[in-house]
Amino acid sequence: MYRIGIDVGGTNIAAGLVEDEFRIFSKKSIKTEEASSPTEMIEAISTLVKELMQGGSIDTADIEAIGVGVPGTAEPESGKVLYANNLGFEDVPFLNEIKEALGKELADKTYFDNDANAAAIGEYITGGYDAENFMMVTLGTGVGGGIIINGKVVRGCNYAAAEFGHMTINIDGCDCNCGRKGCFEDYASATALMEQAFEAMNGPGGRDSILWERAKTLDDLTGEIFFDAVRKRDALAQKVLETYVYYLSEGLTNLINILQPQVLVLSGGITRAADLFLDKVKENVSKSVYSRNSSRNTEITVARGIEDAGDVGIIGAALIDKM
């Protein structure tokens, strides 16, 4: 049996035919800007599905499930995308129209969900976690993620739960784009880390840093350059990372005090350099978490389920029906 996952992103709509053992047999994608209206996007998704099936000589009976991950609030009951800021969608009967476009036989096995939930489902299943309660915290442009409790995704009353990034940790802190102050993502997203590094590069001693040798603008500064400098024991980069890890740890401690998942998985591109900071995060959290005297505390780890980060969205979407 096969599954098909479609990851609707702001840049690409990527679809993949997923074999048993969560291997991607084939992939296809188009630019999101080429199918930006709901009608065009539904048409495009239907075409991608059909092309993948034809390419693999696969029949509708061989398909176990089709899942679509959407960057917005997906309401399973109505099949509507209530709101997707990056796509400009509001109240679009997305799932029902995809089902219609795919035809009756596939319609009954087609599902959708928010993309962060899909990613959490993908990591949970492919990573084989033995954890009733599970949380994935994704460090990217912002900080998002997913929560799984008793084997079910917690979608929330608006299908927008797990907005971890918008937990204030510094009520008198900097302005967040959400309108509040001092939100977790303003300190702990990958973007925030780059900003913190760039600020340090322009502060005392910044010009002596390896970072400045390799990047002169915030745009030029990448995670790779940053972590490379840390590996080379660049003092400025090390100091920036230490402060970043402090904030990250404090936010994670909050989340653990609230939900105490068995496992908290960090994901996002910067976790490729987790060897440089994961131990320190664990140490910080173990010192500040409320139940610090216990031997059964939350295990903090990095995503392990899907090797290629580009496949997380596809495989997660392909598994949506499982939760």
**Residues of the shown chain interacting with a second copy in the complex, contacts defined by CB under 8 A:** 73, 82-83, 133, 147, 149-150, 152, 154-158, 160-164, 166-173, 178-180, 182, 247, 250, 253-255, 257-262, 287-288, 290-291, 293-294, 296-298
Q: Is 276 helix (H, G, I), strand (E, B) or coil?
A: helix
Q: Across the beta sheet with 12-18, what order do the strands follow?
A: 24-31, 12-18, 2-8, 63-70, 110-114
Strand partners, 66: 4, 110
Minimum Å gap between C-beta 113 and a second copy is 15
Residue that has been written with the tokens 């939760």 in this structure: 323
Alpha carbon of 104 to those of 60, 109, 163: distances in Å? Answer: 10, 9, 35
Minimum Å gap between C-beta 284 and a second copy is 11
Minimum Å gap between C-beta 73 and a second copy is 7
Minimum Å gap between C-beta 117 and a second copy is 12
Residue that has been written with the tokens 């702001």 in this structure: 10
Which residue number, 135 or 318, has a Cβ lying nearer to a second copy? 135
Which residue number, 5 or 261, has a Cβ lying nearer to a second copy? 261
Minimum Å gap between C-beta 77 and a second copy is 11
Note whether 281 and 245 are within 8 A (CB). Answer: yes
Note whether 153 and 323 are within 8 A (CB). Answer: yes
Q: Kindly report the number of other CB atoms within 10 A of residue 20's CB atom.
A: 10
Which residue number, 47 or 257, has a Cβ lying nearer to a second copy? 257
Residue that has been written with the tokens 């392990």 in this structure: 304
Which residue number, 18 or 147, has a Cβ lying nearer to a second copy? 147
Which residue number, 238 or 288, has a Cβ lying nearer to a second copy? 288
Minimum Å gap between C-beta 172 and a second copy is 7
| CA terminus-to-terminus distance, the chain | 18
Which residue number, 209 or 249, has a Cβ lying nearer to a second copy? 249
